[in-house]
Structure 1
Amino acid sequence: MKKIFLFVGPTLMIFIGLQVLESVLATFVLFYSWLLAVPWLGRGIQRERFKVTSKAVILGVGSGLLFFLFIYGGLYWLHIYLLDIDQLRVLLLEWGFSGRGEIWLVLILLVANPILEEIYWRGYIYEKLRTEGTAKYAILMTASFYTLYHLLSVIPIFESFYGIIAAVPVFIAGMFWGYVREKTGTITAAIIGHVLSDTGIICVYWFIIR
């Protein structure tokens, strides 16, 4: 029961913030507080998981650039089919992404989001699952529940059922970063790759939607 709560906790925080409280600020506070507090209260993760190696850097940069090109390049060419730009601009304004909100969006996506998400999923949760089972099990479970809460944020953004399809690359990224986490023994590659992937999202917002 406790493990299930750890899996669905981040999704629950986003659901409460977006659907119940209808506040992006509340969503950020609830979500990132959970990602930060749970590993800390659970005695965190070992310092060696942050070790920087040439292999981790290469895998992180390589995967990050690939995901960046997929996100930004794909939406650059296909946004007229996948996104209702006018409706999306209204939604983002309702969420507070204007003026100073834009600066906070960039800082959160490029700093807080990749670091805290990777500490939680490929660090803390992965570590717990790996001590109890196989690497395949740990990779699959962390990727699956990592993807789950992304559905709450991408479904309102994309047209029709494309929101569900848009979650597939998130799952693939989660699987790959879990695999890299197993092979390198650190979350460094996942953090680097995640930062570059989120940079692709920022570029979509800045150059296509904004």
Structure 2
Amino acid sequence: MKNLFLLLLGPTLMIFIGLQLLENVLITFILFYSWLLLVPLISKGFTIGELVSKDPQRSIRYGILSGGVFFLFIFGGLYWLHPYFIDVEHLQKLLTEWGFSGNGVFGLILVLLIVNPILEEVYWRGFMYTRLKEKVKPIHAIWIASACYTLYHFLSVIPMFQWPLNAIAVLPVFIAGLFWGYMREKTGSIIGTVISHALGDLGIMCVYWFFVK
């Protein structure tokens, strides 16, 4: 159980070390994504092949439909509400300090739309969900994975928003985590969750591009 506890909190620890202690976004990305990539790779008994559905078309269809809903919720919702929730001047300054300006924007796009959805889904809806199901019921595994997945997102948004907006900002993250966990359980695949996740991240990028940049 100690090992499982470390696996659940490891990504949050990487974000905390890189972003809060070292205050370096590049190091944060290296620590965080290295953890998501390497831990499943070096773990015994885990293979990516077991995450691929025997009915990929069904998983892809669910991914596109749900991802479209997430995209509309994020981009459409903030289209109307961003004057109340986003301090554009503060975010512009913060993102510039983090290196997400000029050519750095293209790196951000690459990470959010490709690297992030793949590695996060492999880790949380793949690797961790499988490990948790060995200990608890599937519904409990979904809730635990979603809670730990949400935890480090809260650390990431602390510098972006004032309380309680930072807590409100991660509520959709938790809901999305629950939904993707449910989708993973029903389809037996992470193909759809990766697609849905990527489309949700596309909504975030559109908010940045149209309202913040």
TM-score interval for Structure 1 and Structure 2 normalised by the shorter chain = over 0.9
Question: Deviations along 1:121-147, whole A, 9 cap, x unmatched?
Answer: 000000111122211111011101000
Aligned to 2:80: 77
Number of aligned residue pairs = 210
Matches within 5 A, 1:24-43: 24-43=25-44
Secondary structure at the counterpart of residue 186 of structure 1:
coil
TM-score normalized by the length of structure 2: 0.95
Alpha-carbon distance between aligned partners in 1 of 2:21 and 2:158, rounded to the nearest angstrom: 17
* CA-atom RMSD in angstroms: 1.1
Take 1:131 and 1:45, find their aligned partners in 2: how far apart are those partners? 16
Deviates most, 66-75 or 50-59: 50-59
Does residue 122 of structure 1 match 2:101? Answer: no
Percentage identity across paired residues of the two chains: 54
AA aligned opposite 1:27: T
- 1:35-74 equivalent positions in 2, closer than 5 A: 35-43=36-44, 44-51=46-53, 53-74=56-77
What's the CA shift for 1:156? 2.0
The match for 1:89 is: 92
What are the within-5 Å matches in structure 2 for residues 1-210 of structure 1? 1-43=2-44, 44-51=46-53, 53-210=56-213
The normalised TM-score by structure 1 is 0.97
Kindly state the Cα deviation for residue 46 of structure 1 after the two structures are TM-superposed.
4.2
Equivalent residues of 1:84, 1:159 under 8 A apart: no
**1:143-172 Cα distance to aligned partner (Å, 9 max, x none):** 010000000112222243111011110000
- Residues 54-96 of structure 1, C-alpha deviations (whole Å, 9 max, x = no match): 2111111111111111111111111111011001100000000
Q: How many angstroms apart in 2 are the aligned matches of 1:200 and 1:58? A: 19
Which amino acid in structure 1 is aligned with residue 49 of structure 2?
A: R
**Structure 1: stretches of 5+ with no match in the other structure:** none
Tell me: CA distance 1:112–1:24, structure 2 relative to 1, closer, same or farther (3 Å): same
| Aligned partner of residue 66 in structure 2, secondary structure | helix
Equivalents in 2 of 1:120, 1:74: separation in Å?
Answer: 29
Distance (Å, rounded) in 1 between the aligned partners of 2:42 and 2:140: 24
User: Which stretches in structure 2 are left out of the alignment for 5+ residues?
Assistant: none
